[in-house]
Chain A
Amino acid sequence: MTVLDLDNFETDFWKDVDKRKTWDEIIPGELRDTRPVTLSKEVIARYARGVGEDNPIYFDEDYAKTTPYGGIIAPPSIHILLMFACTTTEDWMRSPGTINAGQNWSYHIPIRPGDTITMRGTALDRFIRKDRLFAVHENTFTNQHGQLVCTGRGQTIRPA
């Protein structure tokens, strides 16, 4: 499995913009193209620091071992990173102008260093409200043992 390489991520979200599905092309139920990623201790620490986390449970194995968590875990919100890490430059969640309207996430098992995470992503629904184009998506993340680690839904307003 490939450890997530944060330094060679395509940061230009205009790239492949024409290959991405527009709102009318998003098919509820269709699977998004995803690939598994392995999270190292360094990747977890970098995510945690970047979003302003400073609890030593995300960085310090000696400390983390003394907690009921038994070792370093990733911040629960790491699915924010996984959504982009597991998808391709052609994924419609990268479309410029995608506006987040709300999220609903459930956490089942902490993610730990060395875990390989697989994403299953679908659109569940799309609708128009007050002239705005909405899509509802569902993402589930599973670890290398086949256990669901976290699952969530979000709503985005799509660029017209």
Chain B
Amino acid sequence: MTAKEQFEKTSEGEVITGREFTVTRDTIQAFADASLDYNPLHFDDNYMANKFGKTQFDGVIMHGMQNFALISRTLTDWLIPRGGFHRRLETRWLKPVQLGHTITPTATIYQKRKTEKGYWLLFDIEVTNQDGALVATGNAMAEFLDVIPGTAA
């Protein structure tokens, strides 16, 4: 299917809901082993009893980049089977995510844009926790292309 045909099959307002993710010490360890980020913020209960400036955390926190990776997965799981290319992801972390919390990312297509050179999808990103509170917001962009960059034409 051409990029144009794939683009035409999508609609503004379409919501892509990612998989729920519950944080445990095992998920934190797995993420650290994958990302090589072993900051004591994610492991050390005694260290986390400290104050960080004016901030006091309630125990160890999930890696912010775990959130980033889950948003990224939500986008690519939807895009790759459609031949889409993940172009851009911008995020802001609003609240720490702690052990036992369950978070869910969503990506909403807020605009389809045909440009001179491409077919773009623009997404609003939200990640909410088990209480419905926003823990991260952001925006993303994907593109439908007839040839994926870096592949032989």
User: Chain A interface (Cβ within 8 Å of chain B)?
Assistant: 6, 9, 11-14, 46-53, 55, 57, 67-70, 75-77, 80-81, 84-85, 94, 96-110, 112, 131-132, 147, 157, 159-160
Contacts and interface: CB of A to CB of B under 8 A. Distances in A.
B58 interface: no
Given A105-B88, A107-B86, A98 B73 contact: no
Contact of A50 (B31, B47, B73, B90): B31
Contacts of A47: 34-35
B73 A53 contact: yes
Interface of B: 21, 30-41, 47, 52-54, 63-66, 68-70, 72-73, 76-77, 80, 83, 85-93, 147-152
Contacts, number: 138
B73 to A, nearest CB: 6
A102 to B, nearest CB: 4
A97 B32 CA distance: 15
Shortest Cβ-Cβ A-B pairs, 7 listed: A50-B34, A100-B64, A84-B36, A109-B150, A104-B90, A102-B92, A77-B72
